[in-house]
Amino acid sequence: MSVHTLVSVVVPIGNPEAQPQKVVTALYEALTQGGYAVEFVLVLDGPVGPVERQIESMQCSCPIKIVRLQGGGLGESIALSAGVARAEGIYIVNVPPYLQTEPEDVLKVVAALEAGADCVATWRTPRVDPWLNQLQSRLFNFMLRVVMGMPYHDLNSGTRGFRKQVLEEVSVYGELYRFLPVLALRQGFRVVEVKVRHREERGRAGFYGVGVYLRRLLDILAISFLTRFTQQPLRFFGYVGFLGMVLGVALAAQPIYAKLFLGVGLADRPLFVIGAILAAFGVQLIGFGLIGEIIIFTQAPNLRDYKVEEVIEGGAEVVSTHGEGSRGPSDPIAAVVDLLPVTATKGAPEPLPLPLPEHEGALPPPPRPAAIAINPAASATATSEGPPREMENGAAASPVDLTTMRVRELLPGEDSRWDAFVTRHPHGSFFHLSGWRRCTTEVFHHEPHYLIVEQGRRWIGVLPLFLVKSPFLGRNLISVPYGVYGGALAESLHAQQALLDYAAELGRRLAAGYVELRHLEERPGVRTNSQLYVTFRCNLPDDPAKVLPAIPKKARAEVRRARRPQGGEEVGHGLSVQSDCDLDMFFDLFAENKQRLGSPALPKRWFAALCEEFGRKVVFHRVVDPQGKTLAAVMSFLFRDTVNAYYSGSLTGINDTGANNLIYCGIMEWAVEEGFTRFDFGRSRLESGPAHFKKNMGFVSEPLRYEYILVGDGAKPPDFHPGNPKLDLPRRMWSKMPTMFANRLGARLSRYLP
């Protein structure tokens, strides 16, 4: 974003109760604080004498254009078109003539346009108008979503944003201005929805007149026809016409039969008359549809209801823009943003890239979006680690211009770009992927805040966060819940510091106690940390036959005994590892194992969501005995060159069979066969039973660098974990519960145990 980016605010004014002075003053302050140049276009539509005097008395240094429509009372669609025609800004923001939403939230609309959206609809939440008005509005928008399949929640909101070419290509008239996002989407533009805070609502409260409801129904019918059938009119007229013909023939069939075979006259048979009229009407409608198809066919060369995003020729990217001021190549789009520029204090040290290992989560913005200054002392401490290291591709990190670096939240449509960044970054993990956010939000309803730090159009860091509200842990930001790894991924120390500063500020605004960063590797900087957990990883050999010999002697003997056929001279169990476990079977074993350990089990829908979201990146393995009975199962995640053996379950009393040793050996052999080079055994508490088991399998523990930014008064790192002696009694009680009750209660409690 450049300080020279011009935003045009168009305000249609059609009644003398408007408050243009408040609108101009508040929006000018918000947009200039966000770093934008701004102009106001006030369109006077009707006798608004007091408003004109108010405009003349305004004391504002920004450019103001007044467009007076002749006659007046022409409607908001015409006023909007007239104002946009005289606007000079790259981005257009249309607002009502009073402060319907919080002024700072206009920054979200502009940020979404900057990120690549062509049109931005807004969703007022929470609503502040009377409950009956809210109910009517929700019913109207619900009908639109059902009839047209559009995802928008609040088309009656008067605040919208769009690029100028949208209104140049989309015709609005009458009351169709409220359907501008729908029409723009149909025209091929990229449309997103952002949440804004509702501040005030004007207009009639309670029930409207019958005419209003009738007009709304007709509006829905009109917009449904315009968005679905203008290119295929025969579909609409044909459906209605064919229905009329069928009903007409059905009504007229019995009278005609009576006339032909029973000699009964038709003079006193109204069903025959009604049926004949319906059939004839149906034939006429089909004819109208055919005429419409002929017109469309002859005019098809002049129609263009699509937009070309980019054309790739010979490896070079040639971008076909939507017009002047359009976004650049392949920049996806989005929705809820909290824009907060990041600037550096004078004299800040040069940025350094993060040290790399040798191997391989809608918040209302603050009252005024002030800039975050990077602490030079903290940066100096962080950069004192040594000279810059090179990135893995051999290229040193480019210097960061702190004056153009900003932090914002992920926008809808940017998921693929997020995943590409995570996959490229050496510290990226499966839990950083956008699919983890979708599953967590869908199943547990935690509020995501996925942060991005960018320099110009280039991303230089990301940080996934979720707001988790728990009666056991309090209200905190976690990166990421239900995952063992998380935290910031950045290309430089300054980018990381910007993300962490923003996260701390976000935590304070959300009244969180702390920000938890589940870092795998050590990161520069001084923060509160926890040494409770360790992880276990190893490189895999290049041959499946080398997996078993690499396992320590005792565990290797367990694997061989598990595989050895039954009935031989030596004791054997005849077990085998298969990769065909279904979800139901796995969940039963997982839930049984968790209850045995005295912990609530995650809900089954969580695993179903992961399977649906990640598809082939989720694999199951199981151990079966000679009778085909499943003894143990493991759910693994595939990411880059690594297999993450993550969730597991087993029957009670199988330790002497060696099934647990066998299944992990089998997974590693399968991973080598599939071309993976790393195996991740996952997290365990230090000196716990699972940790000792993994060490016995030949893995070396690595400390996990879980860090905490304490932002709340009296906040401290959590101690609510299975190793806490205070939880011994609840754990024993949980293990004695009936299985069905434990699973149902655990599915609810797991939401609060991230």
CA distance 462 to 436: 14
CATH code 3.90.550.10 for 6-207: yes
DSSP-based three-state secondary structure for 383? helix
**What pLDDT score was predicted for residue 624?**
95
With H, G, I as helix, E, B as strand and everything else as coil, classify residue 594.
helix
> How many CB atoms within 10 Å of residue 330?
13
CA angle 629, 633, 635 (to 5 degrees): 150
Omega before 126 cis (within 30°)? yes
* Residue 351: predicted pLDDT: 34
Q: What is the 3-state secondary structure (H, E, C) of 491-516?
A: CCHHHHHHHHHHHHHHHHHCCCCEEE
| Fold of the domain built from segment(s) 340-533 | Aminopeptidase (3.40.630)
Q: What is the 3-state secondary structure (H, E, C) of 28-75?
A: HHHHHHCCCEEEEEEEECCCCHHHHHHHHCCCCCCCEEEEECCCCCCC
| Residues with pLDDT less than 50, the chain | 1-3, 300, 303, 306, 308-398
Closest CA relative to residue 184, chosen from 108, 131, 231, 121: 121
Taking only the tens place, the pLDDT of each residue in 715-754 is: 888 887 777 778 888 888 888 888 888 888 988 999 999 8
Per DSSP, the residues of 700-719 read: -EEE-EEEEEE-STT-----
Supply the pTM of this predicted model.
Answer: 0.58
d(CA 660, CA 645): 12
**Alpha-carbon Rg of the chain, whole angstroms?**
32
| Bridge partner residues of 710 (DSSP) | 514
Structure tokens at 306: 């699509």
What is the C-alpha separation between 160 and 9, in angstroms, rounded?
Answer: 10
Token pair, residue 51, equals: 């408003």
Integer angstrom CA distances of residue 101 from 124, 270, 509, 608: 7, 58, 19, 39
Query: Is residue 373 a contact partner of residue 436, using CB atoms and an 8 Å limit?
Result: no
Residue-wise pLDDT for 638-647, tens only, equals 999 999 999 9
Question: Nearest to residue 638, comparing CAs of 621, 622, 616?
Answer: 616
φ, ψ dihedrals at 490, nearest 5°: -140, 155
Mapped onto helix, strand or coil, the DSSP state of residue 642 is strand
Bridge partners, 38 (sequence order) = 7
Which residues have C-beta within 8 Å of that of residue 117, sequence separation ≥ 6? 161, 190, 191, 192, 333, 334, 411, 413
Instruction: Give the three-class secondary structure for 302.
Output: helix
pLDDT of residue 620: 96
| Fold of the CATH domain 541-676 | Aminopeptidase (3.40.630)
Q: How far apart are CA 441 and CA 592, in angstroms?
A: 26
Say what angle helices 583-597 and 604-614 make with each other, to 10 degrees.
140
The residue with tokens 């392949």 is 330
In three-state secondary structure terms, 96 is coil
Please, what's the largest Cα pairwise distance for the chain?
Answer: 107
- Tell me, what amino acid is at 621? H
* Nearest of 356, 448, 443, 384 to residue 411 by alpha carbon: 448
SS3 (DSSP) at 614: helix
